[in-house]
Amino acid sequence: MSKWYKSMFEAKLADFWLRLSDLRKERTEQQVTFLKEVLPTGLTLDHCCGPGRLSIALSEDRATVGLDLSRELLNEARKRAKDASSRNLSLIRGDMRYLPFRPDVFDSVINVWTSFGYFSEQENELVLNEISRVMRTAGIFVMDIVNPEALIRRYQERDWSEEERLFLLEQRNWEWETKR
pLDDT at residue number 2:
47
Residues 150-159: contacts with CB within 8 Å, 24+ apart? Answer: 152/179
Residue 168 resides in a domain: no
Q: Residue 91: inside a domain, yes or no?
A: yes
User: What CATH number is associated with residue 48?
Assistant: 3.40.50.150
| Strand, coil or helix: 75 | helix
**Secondary structure (3-state) at 41:** coil
Residues of the domain holding 9: 4-147
The helix or strand, by DSSP H or E, that contains position 80, with its residue range, turns out to be: helix 71-83
Percent of the chain at pLDDT > 70 equals 82
Task: Give pLDDT tens digits for 133-177.
Answer: 999 999 999 998 877 777 778 888 888 877 666 677 778 787 778
pLDDT tens for residues 109-133?
A: 999 876 777 778 899 999 999 999 9
Domain count, the chain: 1
Report d(CA 88, CA 22) in Å as an integer: 22
The mean pLDDT of 85-114, rounded to a whole number, is 94
Q: Is 157 inside any structural domain? A: no
- Domain contains 126: yes
Q: Is residue 172 part of a domain?
A: no
The answer to whether residue 174 is domain-embedded is no
In a domain? residue 175: no
Whether residue 43 is contained in a domain is answered as yes
Contact 17, 73 (CB under 8 A): yes
Mind giving me the DSSP string for 43-65?
Answer: -EEEET-TTTTTHHHHTTSS-EE
The SS3 of residue 164 is coil
